[in-house]
Amino acid sequence: MNLISARSISLPARLTINQDVWLEVLRYFRISLAEDSTGEIRGKRATLLSAALSCPAIAEPALDELWRSMTSLEAVLGVFGDASYGKSVGLVFVEDDDDESWDLSMSPAESSKYLPRIQKSLQRVRYLHFDSWPSDKELSLWQSLAALIRTPVLCSNLKSLWLDMQNFCDGDLISAPCLFLILSSTLKTLTLLNCPKGPRLRTAHLLLSMLKSHDTSLLEISYHGHTDDKTFRLISEFPSLKSIKIREYLDSEDDEGYLKIEDFKDLRHNASLTTIEFDIDIVSVDDEEELGPSLTSLEALCDLTLCIH
């Protein structure tokens, strides 16, 4: 797709076309972090920013699109402008031989100016996409922002979270509870990747438990990891689910199915479930033949896919 660059787009200060038309134009530049290339994302962001700055009539919807999908919350520091980088006001990341931290420099007057902007930007975030476990710098920023704006949840309108645990290590366990700061009860879609036995699986369990404690009405869960009875129970504990997709993370060639037919009884509470997709390897060989009959109680189910490695 050929993108309109920020330099070539020219928007009138006063719109003569119905605003709904311009909203459709802005949706053309909607960012997909899972599908768009780096160049496409950069081009779309530049165009959306240009629209927000040059045309007040569509500034708000343009900013909504600009902030909709993010890979980090560090961009929120842009509300401070160049002052943040001049270390005169705002949050600045300080590194020395002994420690790394975010340094806050802001007067009460500056707080009243900048904090509403920070809150507004965070409220625009709908999708968070992490191709790897967030860095210590990112996680400490979340803590600093939460303390700064005094809120238990940073992205109060978050709809989708994508988290790849590939580079998660034992030392990251201590920072795992920081996920609590981005888990909104508005979340509808969760994707968890690369969760074998060990610390990554325990963190996945923690994440699912935290979402349950928020009374989150998840609609879709996509999970790639070790799938024992506890994992399956935690996934199926969301009665609002419409789609469950599970890919088994085999730790060795000797691994066998972990789930018994009794475990699938947990799905009886998922009356809205329309789609189930998982590896047949998660089911005990002795129980494979009974799998189909065990799902007959799911009256809304219309798409069942069993995959074989």
* Residue with tokens 């719109």, as numbered in its chain: 15
> Could you tell me if 162 and 191 are in contact, meaning their C-beta atoms sit under 8 angstroms apart?
yes
* Residue with tokens 């270390």, as numbered in its chain: 87
Burial of 284 per CB tally in 10 Å (0-12, 13-18, 19+): middle
> Could you tell me if 130 and 163 are in contact, meaning their C-beta atoms sit under 8 angstroms apart?
yes
Give SS3 for 228.
coil
Per-residue model confidence as pLDDT tens digits over 209-244? 999 998 899 999 999 999 989 999 999 999 999 999
Residue 147: C-alpha distances to residues 40, 81, 93 (Å): 34, 21, 15
> Could you tell me if 255 and 279 are in contact, meaning their C-beta atoms sit under 8 angstroms apart?
no
Per-residue model confidence as pLDDT tens digits over 175-221? 888 999 999 999 999 999 999 988 999 999 999 999 999 889 999 99
Per-residue model confidence as pLDDT tens digits over 62-99? 899 899 999 999 999 888 875 444 445 678 777 776 67
Positive or negative: CA dihedral 15, 32, 148, 153: positive
pLDDT-derived band at 5, boundaries 50, 70, 90: very low
pLDDT in the model for residue 89 = 61
Closest-CA residue to 84 (of 113, 106, 60):
106
> Could you tell me if 260 and 236 are in contact, meaning their C-beta atoms sit under 8 angstroms apart?
no
> Could you tell me if 191 and 235 are in contact, meaning their C-beta atoms sit under 8 angstroms apart?
no
Residue 240, beta-bridge partner list = none
Closest-CA residue to 210 (of 194, 190, 227):
190
Beta strands in the chain, from DSSP E residues, in sequence order: 69-70, 90-95, 100-105, 127-130, 160-164, 189-195, 220-225, 243-248, 275-279, 303-307
Across 16-20, 26-30, 100-104, 140-144, the highest mean pLDDT is recorded for 140-144
Q: Could you give the strand order of the β-sheet that contains 127-130, starting from the edge strand earlier in sequence? A: 69-70, 127-130, 160-164, 189-195, 220-225, 243-248, 275-279, 303-307
Positive or negative: CA dihedral 213, 216, 220, 222: negative
pLDDT-derived band at 161, boundaries 50, 70, 90: very high
> Could you tell me if 148 and 118 are in contact, meaning their C-beta atoms sit under 8 angstroms apart?
yes
pLDDT in the model for residue 249 = 72
Q: Where are the alpha helices (DSSP H) in 214-257?
A: 229-236
DSSP classification of residue 5: P
